Amino acid sequence: MLPNILDIATDHQLTFQPRSFGKKQTLAKCPFCREDDQPRKRKKYYLSLNTQEQLFRCWFCGESGGVFRFIALLEGVSEKEVIDRYRKKSGSTYKQHPAEKLTSSQCKMMGLDAKPDWVDIRKFDYESYKELRELVWKAWKQFLWNEKRFAYQLLVAGVAGGTYGNVVEAIQEREKAIGSPLLAEVLDIYSLPERPAQINRLEALTLHMCDPLKYPYSPMEKQ
């Protein structure tokens, strides 16, 4: 959310036209040209604030722009400085993207060297930060998908080989290590009355690898 232009103007003690104060268009004396400060223009208020869009314009000198430019002009600093300052401030209340919540061991498990320093990257380059966030999240989902596939194969092999108890333990160990549920999800898929074709293929392949004679593999055949 943008800073509130009316609050900014109030903080800087602008002189408002009383009857317009707080309305969508609030009028004030222009602090930039001060044309309406002259005694003969006592009733004039050249600066118009759009309090909904957070914009300003002076009808006399033509100075105009958004709230960041407004702050910059009032404080005599660059607009970039104002934006940077505002970003830093809003950073503390920023709602984290799920990718940023991944722990450093999760980041390492999925193949990153380390957990990205999100705060630093966000400060340095906002666009790159957003791109990296999406990339990491996509990689994590891919990682989880692979994990589920391995867990499913393990389950199928365990059932076929009579080591169900052991594989359940192994899957539980793994879900603890990656910090994401596995067992409940693979059991859900395993117990579906009709599994997706892709899962049937994976299952046929796994069984075939366990015992090629007992489970001949023909991927084209409906299981």
Per CB under 5 A, residues contacting Zn ion are 30, 32-33, 58, 60-61
Nearest alpha carbon to residue 2 among 58, 48, 56, 45: 56
User: Considering beta carbons, is residue 58 or 99 the nearer one to Zn ion?
Assistant: 58
Measured from the CB of residue 23, what is the shortest distance to Zn ion in angstroms? 20
> How near is the Cβ of 142 to Zn ion at its closest, in Å?
56
Nearer residue to Zn ion within complex by CB, 33 or 132: 33
Measured from the CB of residue 88, what is the shortest distance to Zn ion in angstroms? 30
Please provide residue 29's backbone torsions phi and psi, each rounded to the nearest 5 degrees. -70, 135
Minimum separation from the CB atom of position 41 to Zn ion (A): 11
Are the beta carbons of 177 and 188 closer than 8 angstroms?
no
CA 36 to CA 34: how far, in whole Å?
5
Nearer to Zn ion, 60 or 86 (CB): 60
For residue 95, count other CB atoms closer than 10 A to its CB.
Answer: 5
State which residue, 28 or 99, has the beta carbon closest to Zn ion. Answer: 28
d(CA 24, CA 193): 60
Contacts 24+ apart (CB under 8 A), 170-176: 174/147, 175/151
In what side-by-side order are the strands of the sheet with 25-28? 25-28, 47-50, 55-58, 64-66
State the nearest-atom distance from the C-beta of 77 to Zn ion, in Å.
19
| Nearer Cβ to Zn ion (28/155) | 28
